[in-house]
Amino acid sequence: MASGMAMAGWVLLVAGILLRSPVLRDRVAGFWIPLALTTLYAAIILVHWTSVAEGGFGSLSAVAALFSSEWILLAGWVHLLAFDLLIGGWIARDAATRAVPRWALLPVLPAACLLGPAGFLLWIMIRTSAPSATRRRPGPTSMPVAAR
């Protein structure tokens, strides 16, 4: 369910970019779907966190012990899905605001989808080297307000 929802988010994000639709790009793929994934993550953590007997974040072996619980492993997966899509949405909004050509996102969005932080790093490198990165269109690059 979570993977399908995230994949739908990525498809809608790309559609929003190609169709120049801020509603698809910013609200649906960049806000509502990540919010749904985040809600699922929070629900899993609230219900199952206390059932984990061992593990933590102090060392790699503690994290491995924490993820020995299938529910906490699922929460970790949903966490990755939500944040990778959030980063992808932010990158798409930032590109639109900076008037960076849509084709420049071709290598970035798959990297953000599959490799999260590496896609973010790639975007930062592209946006600082793109000639249009200095021209900013009016509009926010922060999280969109749902009521807009």
Number of structural domains the chain divides into: 1
Identify whether 144 is part of a domain: no
Structural tokens at position 73: 């492993």
User: What's the whole-model pTM score?
Assistant: 0.84
The pLDDT of residue 136 is above 50:
yes
Identify whether 35 is part of a domain: yes
Distances (CA, A) of 28 to 6, 25, 86, 120, 147: 11, 6, 11, 20, 12
Identify whether 15 is part of a domain: yes
Identify whether 33 is part of a domain: yes
Structural domain range at position 35 = 2-96
Identify whether 140 is part of a domain: no
Identify whether 14 is part of a domain: yes
Indicate the pLDDT class of residue 78, thresholds 50, 70 and 90.
very high
What is the model's pLDDT at position 112?
96
Identify whether 113 is part of a domain: no
pLDDT per position as a tens digit, 5-45: 999 999 999 999 999 999 999 999 999 999 999 999 999 99
How much is the mean pLDDT over the chain?
A: 89
Distances (CA, A) of 84 to 33, 87, 88, 135: 12, 5, 6, 26
DSSP string of 103-126, one letter each residue: GGGTTHHHHHHHHTHHHHHHHHHH
Identify whether 124 is part of a domain: no
